[in-house]
Amino acid sequence: MTEFLQQLINGLALGAIYALIALGYTMVYGILRFINFAHGDVFMLGAFAGLFLTPVVQRFFPPQSYLGGIVVLLLAMAICAGLGILIEMLAYRPLRNRPKLTVLITAIGVSLFIEYTCQHRLVFGAAPRKFPDLIPVTTWNVDQLVISSTQVIVFVTTILLLIMLRFIVQKTRMGTAMRAVSFNEQAAALMGVNINSIISFTFGLGSALAAAGGILFAMSYSSIDPLMGVQTGLKAFVAAVVGGIGNLPGAALGGILIGVIETFAGGIPGLSNYRDGIAFTILIVVLIFRPTGLLSKPQVEKV
C-alpha cells in the first residue's frame, strides 16, 4: 500500500506538468483547429529562461528563496508568452487562410528550427545543463511515504494556474471572446471581436503555461537540454487528445492520467522499459473506444 501511494504522489507531480503543457495544445486547437507542434519547444525555452534568470534575480533576493522563485517563474512565463505571440505572428498568421496541412507542416518546421538553433554552441549548446535550486528543498517522511517540497510546489502551482486559467476563460471579457472565436470565428468577427488579438492572447497564455511547466519540470529533474521538449511535448499532446482535444478540463485530466499511469508502469518490473510508450498505448485504446477523447462530446457536421 505504501508503494502504491508513493507512486501515486510521484505520478500526480509528473501529471501536473503534463497538464500545464497539454492546456496550451488544447487552447490553440480550440481556436485555430490545428496542432502547434512548437509548443513543446516553448516549454524548453521556459526552462532555459529560468536558468539564465536565476542568477540575475538572486542579486536582489536571497538565494533559494520562495519569493525569488516566484519572480523567476513569472518572468519566464512573461518571456515565453511574448515568444508564443511572436511565433504566431511570424509563422502562423500569414498562413491562416491556407489549408490546415500547410500550417501543420509549418508548425513542425518551427519546432525543428527552435530545437536545432538552440543546440548551436553560440546559443544553449547541445550538452545538458544543471538547473539551479530556486527554492529550499525539504523532504518529509509521513508513514514511510517520502514527499518533497518540490512535489508539493509543483502540484499547488499547477492547481493555482488552472484556477486562474478557468477564471480568465469563464469570467473575463477576453475569455468570453476566446469562447466565441472557438465556437464560430466569423460570427465573432461580425460581433466586433478582434480575431487577431484573441489568437495572439491565446498563444501567449498557452506559452506562459508551458513556461511554468518548464520551470517546474526543471526544478523536479534538475537537468535541462534543448531537446527536452520533444518527448515531454509529445506526451502532453497525447494527454490533450486523450482528455478531448479542445476541452480544457479534458487536457488537465489527460495530463494527470498519463503522468500517473506512466509512473506506475515505471515501477513494474518488465514494464518499466516501456514506460515512455505507455502514453501512446493509452492514446490508441482511447481513440478506438472513444475517438473524441474522454471528456469531449461528438459533434454532428451538417452536410
Ordered per-residue pLDDT tens for the chain, 303 residues: 777 888 888 888 888 888 888 888 888 888 777 788 888 899 999 999 999 999 999 888 888 888 988 999 999 999 999 999 999 999 988 888 888 888 889 999 999 999 999 998 888 888 999 988 888 888 888 777 888 888 888 889 888 988 998 899 888 998 899 888 888 888 888 888 888 899 999 999 989 989 998 999 998 888 899 999 888 888 888 888 888 887 888 888 888 888 888 888 877 777 777 777 877 888 888 888 888 888 776 665 555
The gap from C-alpha 157 to its chain's centroid, in whole angstroms, comes to 13
Contact predicate 28/36, CB 8 Å: yes
C-alpha cell at 67: 519569493
**What is the pTM assigned to this prediction?**
0.89
| Residue 74 in grid coordinates | 513569472
